Amino acid sequence: MHLIQLLAASLAVSVSYALPVQEGAKKTFVMSRKPAVQYRPQAKSATLVANVTDPSVSRDSCGSVNMGGRTLWTCRDTAVRLPGTDQFGWVFTNTVGWTDHHPDGSPSIQTGGPAGAGSNGTNNILLMKGPQPSLPTFYALGSNQCPSSGVCADGTSRWTSWPDSPPMVSNTAQDGTATAYTWISNNHITSSGFQVLTTQPSVTLHKMTYKPNTNVNVVPTVKPVDTSFWKAGEIAYGTYGNVVNGGYAYLYGLLYPSGVALARVPVNSIEDKTKYQYYVSGKWTSTKPAIINPAAAVPNAGTTGQGTFYYCSKAQSYIWIGQNSPSVWADFYISTAPSPEGPWITPYLLYSGPNGDAELPSYSLQAHHHLLRKTDDGIYLTWTQYFKPSTYNAYVTPLVYVSFV
Ligand SMILES: *[C@@H]1O[C@H](CO)[C@@H](O)[C@H](O)[C@H]1NC(C)=O
Ligand SMILES: *[C@@H]1O[C@H](CO)[C@@H](O)[C@H](O)[C@H]1NC(C)=O
């Protein structure tokens, strides 16, 4: 879709949702039991803390989650540094890495380290560790998806298996064993130009389990539960974001042509499609709405740009932080709501970070609330900074702490 069409479509959508009429009664009810003034943090200060990196690889579009007492980062395209050079090659479509945090939860930043992607040997890094030197694709490509690299033999197209959101931990057992899930769109794109060959593709549900292990080369075991959990043309619930709270997993997915839809499922029944409910016209229903149904939209639950949902117990608020849409800049927008269904406030600008100088200067904006200490009032943010190869020949993932007022 052209940018102008996209703009026109999202404008049309937001105008129709601005009508208060059909929502009036419901809103009064919600407001009467929730604070009337919604949480609306602003940035007080911002600190560029470090680059998140394993300098021996160049990693695109990383998100993170606390799993089994460690921080697991799941990333998209990952290229291996050719030893003794500043060149990277041999791309894997997705990989994972671990970073350490202090007992209080804050990231374990080090000054200096190996030189490579995002590290000149002296700047601050949050060091990613993990299987070396080999980097198997973490979320496997399907048997029809030109395995194992995803690049098809004729070279004209590729399957991506790109995670849009980090794993969603559904359960942590007494012994620390974590169970987690990720929904990944079965994207098929042209090798040149990133044109989508299947609009609204099917979605694979991947399940992970991880028993805490001191060996950083041990990563979660992961297997696809269903390679067509959501069918082509259905709303890809879970890909746009998720949040677990109060025994439910809340799963967000994008509508077509625009808007954000919401489903929920008891957190122990992620694999059971009969247990899913969908939020349509302000009510939960077991009938899955069509991807073109505007009544399935939760207004302002994200801009439709990439981001992260989380729950802040201190503020008793659900929060989404991510990129505006459309945008190619490190401008972090924020919206908040007293419940996953809303009402979400109109997203507003929280923080603007440094950009790259390539065609897509900044993308994959993410928030990392699990890195906060109990005493912190703020949020950790990352994004992919993308440069022209002549400027800098690797993806850079800056980590910024933004404190709130
Ligand atoms: C991250 O890496 C880039 C490229 O080497 C560098 O310019 C930048 O200063 C680094 N940022 C931090 C916070 O160390
Ligand atoms: C490494 O990067 C840091 C942060 O950008 C900078 O202050 C420092 O001078 C650089 N060191 C070298 C050896 O280039």
- Cα 74 to ligand 2 centre (Å): 27
Say yes or no: CB of residue 123 within 6 Å of ligand 1.
yes
Task: Report which protein residue has its CA nearest ligand 2's atom 3.
Answer: 123
CB 69 within 8 A of CB 172: no
Say yes or no: CB of residue 123 within 6 Å of ligand 2.
yes
How, if at all, do strands 398-404 and 378-385 pair? antiparallel
- Cα 216 to ligand 1 centre (Å): 25
What the block records as the tokens of 41 is 């943090």
CB 269 within 8 A of CB 322: no
Say yes or no: CB of residue 263 within 6 Å of ligand 1.
no
Say yes or no: CB of residue 118 within 6 Å of ligand 1.
yes
Which residues, 6+ apart, have CB-to-CB distance to 313 below 8 Å?
none
For the CA of 118, the closest atom of ligand 1 is 2
pTM of this structure: 0.91
Say yes or no: CB of residue 171 within 6 Å of ligand 2.
no
Burial string for 87-96 (b: 16+ CB within 10 Å, else e) reads ebeebbbbbb
- Cα 107 to ligand 2 centre (Å): 21
- Cα 255 to ligand 1 centre (Å): 37
Ligand lying closest to the C-alpha of residue 125:
1
Compute the C-alpha angle 347/351/355, nearest 5°.
Answer: 115
Say yes or no: CB of residue 392 within 6 Å of ligand 1.
yes
Which residues, 6+ apart, have CB-to-CB distance to 185 below 8 Å?
162, 164, 201, 202, 203, 236, 239
Q: What is the pLDDT of residue 36?
A: 58
Q: What is the pLDDT of residue 193?
A: 83
- Cα 393 to ligand 1 centre (Å): 12
Residue with tokens 């039991």: 33
- Cα 330 to ligand 2 centre (Å): 22
Say yes or no: CB of residue 120 within 6 Å of ligand 2.
yes
- Whole-angstrom distance between the N-terminal and C-terminal Cα of the chain? 39
- Cα 209 to ligand 1 centre (Å): 34
What is the domain-level CATH number for residue 16?
A: 2.115.10.20
Write the burial class of residue 315 (CB in 10 Å: 0-12 exposed, 13-18 middle, 19+ buried). Answer: middle
Q: What is the pLDDT along the chain (405 residues), one digit of tens a residue?
A: 333 333 333 333 333 333 333 333 344 344 444 555 899 999 999 999 999 999 999 999 999 999 988 999 999 999 999 988 889 988 899 999 999 999 999 999 999 999 999 999 999 999 999 987 677 799 999 989 998 889 999 899 999 999 999 999 999 999 999 999 999 999 999 998 889 999 999 999 999 999 999 999 999 999 999 999 999 999 999 999 999 999 999 999 999 999 999 999 999 999 999 999 999 999 999 999 999 999 999 999 999 999 999 999 999 999 999 999 999 999 999 999 999 999 999 999 999 999 999 999 999 999 999 999 999 999 999 999 999 999 999 999 999 999 999
Domain count, the chain: 1
Q: Which of 110, 123, 399 to mutate to test the pocket of ligand 2 (most atoms within 8 A of CB)?
A: 123
What the block records as the tokens of 166 is 């980090």
Q: Residue 290 is part of which domain span?
A: 3-404
- Cα 385 to ligand 1 centre (Å): 10
Q: What is the pLDDT of residue 132?
A: 76
Ligand lying closest to the C-alpha of residue 122:
2
Q: Which of 122, 387, 396 to mutate to test the pocket of ligand 2 (most atoms within 8 A of CB)?
A: 122
